[in-house]
Structures are given as C-alpha cells and as structure tokens.
Structure 1
Amino acid sequence: MNAARLIGTVGGVGYLRPAPGTWGSLAALPLAWVLHTLGGFPLLAIATIAVFFTGLWATRVMTDGQDNHDPSEIVIDEVAGQFIALWAVSYPSWAHGLEITALWPGWIAGFVLFRLFDITKPGPVGWADRRNDAMGVMLDDVIAGILAAFGVLILASIAHGVMGL
C-alpha cells in the first residue's frame, strides 16, 4: 500500500463496510484521546492541521485522473472533521485541568453531530462537497466538524447552564 493510500484510507479503515465514513470517524476517537492525553488541546489542534494537509495531498494523489473525486474509501477527511468536532471537548478539558474522559457526553455529541452534518450536508457543508475536488473532499468535513463543535458547545451550555448538570 503506497503512502497516499495508507493515509487516505487511514491505514485501511476506509475499506471497512458498511459506512466507511462512520468507521473513519470512529477511528478518530481513540486517536484524539491519545493526542489529547499526550499534549492536550495544543497537540490535538496541531495534529488536526497536519491531518488536513496530509489528507489533502493523499486525496489529490488517490483521485488524480479519476472521475470520482470522493471515493468512499478515503476517510482521512472524516478524521480531520471529527478532530475538530472534539475541539469542543479537548479545549475545556485542557484549559480547566479536567480529565477528558469525564466529558464523555461531549464525545458522544461530537460524534453524532459530526456524522449528522457530514451525511446531511447542510448549507456550507454541501457547498464544499459540490466542489468536486480534493479540497472539497477535505473542506466539507472540516465545516461539518466546526458545526458539530458549535453544537457540542450549545448542548454543554444547555446542560450546565439551563439544566445545572
């Protein structure tokens, strides 16, 4: 397996069926935990940027000369988007010295919201997806991750503010 395929499929996770995008998102969860545990939010943020740019490269290589610019086995974009969705958990954990696993409802919300936005492609997510190029492949998941992170923050505000949990 060449480097682009190894990166683009996240070590072959993208070949899992059904729903390879969901498998890619699931693979991102333990990776995010390890990164956060080793270096807190700053390391997760740096890794997200690195995943985005290496994913962009891998997607370009894997789709060069192909009609399909977003084959289902490319799931590195899901890893980048899922990492961003988890920023809403990683940053408060890091900033307040909390164990990141104590914020487990945020992990679940981040995963579910990211998948929801990635699958339904509302507004700007759909715009990015319609680019039909490697940047669009990566960007739609980045935007879905941003929307999911805001969703996690809103849900946390409701849970901790309104409900007092």
Structure 2
Amino acid sequence: MRKFLMELIATALYTGKLPKMPGTWGSIFATLLVYFFWPQSLKLQLFIVAITFLLSVISSDYLSKELNSKDPDQVVIDEVLGIFITFLGVKAQHNPAAALAGLIIFRAVDIMKPPPITWFEKLPGGWGITADDAIAGVVSNLLLRIVGGFLHV
C-alpha cells in the first residue's frame, strides 16, 4: 500500500508515466489544477505549496530509491510544486493567458536550469529532486509577473 501511495504521489496521479516528456505532462496537469481550482487566498496557496513540497521530498526520495535512480523521469510531483510556486499570488484561475504564460515560462526555466537552479540539484535524494523545481518556480513566478504586466494577467 505504501509503495502504491508513494508512486501515485510522485508521478502526480501517474501523469509522469505518460509517453515522452513526463515533466511537461506533470506541468500541464498542475496547470490545469491551477486553472480550475487554484484558491484566491494567498494563505491557502502557501499551505498547498507547503504540503506539496513535503509530499514531493518524501515521495520522490522513496521512488528514486525504489527505482535506483537519482532523479527518475516519471517523478513529476516536483514539477507540480514548481507550477504551484509559479502561480503563487497570481490570478490564474480561469485565466487562459496567465495559465499558458506560466506553463511556458516554467517549462523553459525548468529545462534550461540557469544558476542558481542547478546548484540545488546537488542536494541528496528527494531534497535535490524537489528543490531545483521549487527554485525554478520562484524564478518563473518573477518572470510571469513581469510578462503578466504586458499580458494584463
């Protein structure tokens, strides 16, 4: 049962097992959650980010050990966290321009991994898997706010 739950969480309801680009699938899944369900309350958003962060560290560490891989492709809960951070304090619910802009910005930042993001990948286990995407989310949030000014989001 534990393995099932850890895999379910780490793969973001198995979106990480979709063919090709698992990180993109996980990011699309998270963006859809934001688009349809993201709360207006910043306190509630921060609570969701904190819970997702903890679940990411624990489940990604478990699955990486189970699969004997430093950062398995199918682990996408870290991308979900990154997307949630990207949209922290941003009015993205039912806003297609904001949702699409945030998704594109996050994926670009996550793929390019400019410093200091790469530094956090070196942390051990689930911490390294999670922290780099959390920092990518922070960078993406800032970029989304800049771009959002032009898009009126």
SS in 1 for 2:139: helix
| 8 A contact 2:12–2:77 mirrored in 1 | yes
| 8 A contact 1:10–1:75 mirrored in 2 | yes
Partner of 1:36: 38
Distance in 2, matches of 1:52 and 1:86, equals 15
SS in 1 for 2:116: helix
Q: 1:5 to 1:69 in 2, by over 3 A?
A: same
Q: Compute the TM-score of the two structures, normalised by the length of structure 2.
A: 0.87
* Offset at residue 24 of structure 1 (A): 0.2
Aligned Cα RMSD in Å?
Answer: 2.1
| 8 A contact 1:35–1:44 mirrored in 2 | no
User: Which of residues 106, 117, 126 is equivalent to 1:134?
Assistant: 126
Q: Compute the TM-score of the two structures, normalised by the length of structure 1.
A: 0.81
1:1-165 equivalence runs, <5 A: 2-37=4-39, 40-64=41-65, 67-90=68-91, 100-101=93-94, 103-159=95-151
Higher relative contact order (CA closer than 8 Å, sequence separation 6+): 2
Distance in 1, matches of 2:100 and 2:136, equals 15
Which one has the bigger helix percentage? 1
Distance in 1, matches of 2:124 and 2:108, equals 21
Q: Name whichever of 104-113 and 8-17 sits farther off.
A: 104-113
Which structure has the bigger radius of gyration? 1
* Offset at residue 113 of structure 1 (A): 0.9
Distance in 1, matches of 2:20 and 2:132, equals 21
Distance in 2, matches of 1:45 and 1:82, equals 13
* Superposed CA offset, 1:96-137 (max 9, x none): xxxx32x43222221111001111110011111233521011
| 8 A contact 1:89–1:107 mirrored in 2 | no
Distance in 1, matches of 2:67 and 2:26, equals 22
* Superposed CA offset, 1:28-77 (max 9, x none): 0122234425x643322211110110111101111226542100000000
Unaligned runs of 5+ in 2: none
How many residues are treated as equivalent by the alignment? 151
Q: What is the identity, as a one-letter code, of the residue corresponding to 2:20?
A: P
Distance in 1, matches of 2:12 and 2:4, equals 12
* Offset at residue 12 of structure 1 (A): 0.8
Question: What is the aligned-residue identity percentage?
Answer: 29
